[in-house]
Amino acid sequence: MDSAPTSVGFDRFGFPATILKAVTDLGYETPTPIQAQCIPHLMEGKDLLGQAQTGTGKTAAFALPVMSDIDLKQRDPQALVLAPTRELALQVAEAFQSYAHGMKGFHVLPLYGGTGMSTQLRQLKRGAHVIVGTPGRVMDHLRRGTLSLKGLKTLVLDEADEMLNMGFVDDIEWIFEQTPPNRRVALFSATMPKSIRNVARKYLNNPVEIKVACKTETVTTIEQLHCVVTPFHKMDTLTRVLEVETFEAMIVFVRTKTATVEVAEKLEAHGFSAEALNGDMNQAMRERTVGRLKSGKLDIVVATDVAARGLDVERITHVVNYDIPYDPEAYVHRIGRTGRAGRKGKALLFVSPRERHLLKSIERATRQKIAPMPLPSADDLGEHRIEQFMQLLRDTVVDQDLDFYYRLVSRIENEQEMGVIDIAAALTFLSQRERPFVVKEIKVPAAKKHPDSRSDPRQRRERKEHGKSEQGGGGDDIPRIRYRIEVGRQHGATPREIVGAIANEAGIEGKHIGYIGIHDTHSTVDLPEGMPKEIEKHLQKVNVCGQQLRLSSTGEKAAPPRGQKPKGKKPRAGAQKPGERKRTKNRD
């Protein structure tokens, strides 16, 4: 065929059917400029030097050609992607996995520092078609002989300028020298300093040069806010926001089809009019749900990116990113469902402590800061409910015939010898049990850095001295219970991973996590006494080093934490003596 293809979609690139279906299922319709320019050259096997910002769609620009060239029968890695941070490595690995959902037996493996080696060693032994890693950890495995690059077809450097700024230039050059001479190379960088040019000149073979500016923009009529919240507190946060926020109609975006149903059902249980919208619904069901949203019979739709494609409903005043998107472009598409035709809209973004890097990617791509959202406090929410209750009382007195109830209250007052104020207080209590006026605060996670393996040695030493270990517990005096978790030394678990998972997933401050004992097949951890059952249940499903914690109480009270002895001071009267403390510690 002599003429150029006229298709503007992804079908023009010659992708295998499984890749094309995955792209379609993810809602990709038209390639971004970086994808349109890079994919044809990479499909032809050429080396490429691309200048592009985060948010231009560059991950798909190199991942889709790599996926198209994968031989699933070959166990050795066929592609290596180097990234500057573990957060970006995970993000890229997740993108590969999403493009490969139709490729049975495909494996992508992220390799980064700060986690135990044993899990990575097991996964490498099993085999992986694509490796995504930070230079330091990739070098560790190459030197150990646990990673082989003899079958490598493609090497990708993502955010190369960041890697060079972090001092990885010698590591990158060493890794290049371990790769086969006939591999293709794709190097992507937001800027092109001389150091990048030098690497390209030395290791790339007649590269095609492509430069694309980031055009990702958000509508100025949309107010954008973010909230840092643990996964466990997401639903509680959402329902509180819905109570105090005035909205007409709303889309709540989640990542998976299963989550659309789960979140919609929970919202309905809280009294909100909500339905799921996902790819498993046939056209008739989809049209019915969208029709109900348009007509005002439905207020909230919980949807995936794919299911919401093409959704245009003027009533939508709010968009909630319940699950933050991995791709900044997806974020722009999501919030574009509100603020249509010059109307004002509001977009809320929930960010877990481990996802702060995704927030920064979105801010860089959209070139604007997303302000933090002050959560409704317990007092604010309680006062809001009281005002609603008082308004309901006023409306009821005006609009309803209450003669029968006046007589009933009078009868109760006489027969039960109760005052009217006692009766009113009891009825108020009974009526508000489902939505109490006295509300518990939601714990907002403090800002926390997640340095990778190449952080400042002094910071690493500080963390070691102040963190938890097998020998030490928390420094406070709150009572704790000992729990067993089903992850141990043979899985590569360390106290740091366990503390990080519990602190981030359950919203428990690290200082409240006590003694951690690491054993071969399991570990023990001391957690605050009286911890809510919901948190215990959530922690049972949390993963550390690829293992579910399956948290369970041992029934033992934890030993008191070991604190430092005060210097130059006598013990207070009645203070526990060393001998007494020892007996208390060993009383069980």
At residue 302, does pLDDT exceed 70? yes
More confident residue, 297 or 463: 297
The answer to whether 60 and 99 have CB atoms below 8 angstroms apart is: yes
Mean pLDDT on 142-146: 93
143 pLDDT exceeds 50? Answer: yes
Tokens of 331: 């974020």
pTM above 0.85, yes or no: no
Q: How confident is the model at residue 467, as a pLDDT?
A: 37
CA–CA distance, 299 with 296 (Å, rounded to integer): 6
pLDDT at 379 over 90: no
Helices of type H across 321-402: 328-335, 356-366, 378-399
CA dihedral 303, 305, 311, 312 (to 10 degrees): 100
CA distance 112 to 267: 38
| pLDDT at residue 176, rounded to an integer | 94
CB-based contacts of 452: which residues, under 8 Å, 6+ apart? 85, 86, 112, 113, 114, 134, 136
Phi and psi of 517, rounded to 5°? -110, 120
How far apart, in whole angstroms, are the C-alpha atoms of residue 553 and residue 537? 11
> What strand order describes the sheet that includes 523-528?
516-518, 523-528, 480-485, 552-557
Report pLDDT digits (tens) over 326-372.
Answer: 777 778 888 888 876 667 889 999 998 878 888 988 888 788 899 99
Domains and CATH numbers, the chain: 10-212 (3.40.50.300), 222-372 (3.40.50.300), 378-431 (no CATH), 457-557 (3.30.70.330)
- Count how many Cα atoms sit within 13 Å of the Cα of residue 309 in the half-sphere of its side chain: 13
Mean pLDDT of 59-70: 93
Q: Count other Cβ atoms within 10 Å, centred on residue 33.
A: 17
Q: What is the CA radius of gyration of the chain?
A: 29
pLDDT for 259 equals 86
Res. 471: pLDDT tops 60: no
394 CB-near residues (< 8 Å, 6+ apart): none
For every residue of 381-409, DSSP letters joined together read: HHHHHHHHHHHHHHHHHHHS--HHHHHHH
Sign of CA dihedral 23, 351, 528, 266: negative
Confidence of residue 43 (pLDDT cuts 50, 70, 90): very high
How far is 424 from 521, CA to CA, in rounded Å? 58
**What is the percent of the chain where pLDDT is above 70?**
79
DSSP letters, 460-496, are HHHHHHHS-BTTB--SS---EEEEEES--GGGT--HH
Q: 3-state class of 195 per DSSP?
A: helix
| Contact assessment for residue 210 and residue 38, using Cβ atoms and an 8 Å cutoff | yes
User: DSSP secondary-structure letter at 454?
Assistant: T
In DSSP terms, 6 is beta-bridged to none
At residue 548, the pLDDT reads 85
Flag whether pLDDT at 580 surpasses 60: no
Whether pLDDT at 179 is above 90: yes
CA distance 184 to 228: 41
Which comes out higher in pLDDT, residue 274 or 428? Answer: 274
Cα–Cα distance between 85 and 62 in angstroms, integer?
18
Burial of 135 (0-12, 13-18, 19+ CB in 10 A): buried
Q: Which of 39, 37, 32, 36 is CA-nearest to residue 55?
A: 32
Helix axes of 420-431 and 403-415: crossing angle, nearest 10 degrees:
120
* 199-256 tens-digit pLDDT: 899 999 999 999 886 555 556 778 999 999 888 788 888 988 888 788 899 999 998 8
What share of the chain has pLDDT > 90, as a percent?
29
Alpha-carbon span 505 to 535, nearest angstrom: 9
Token digits of residue 318? 């709010």
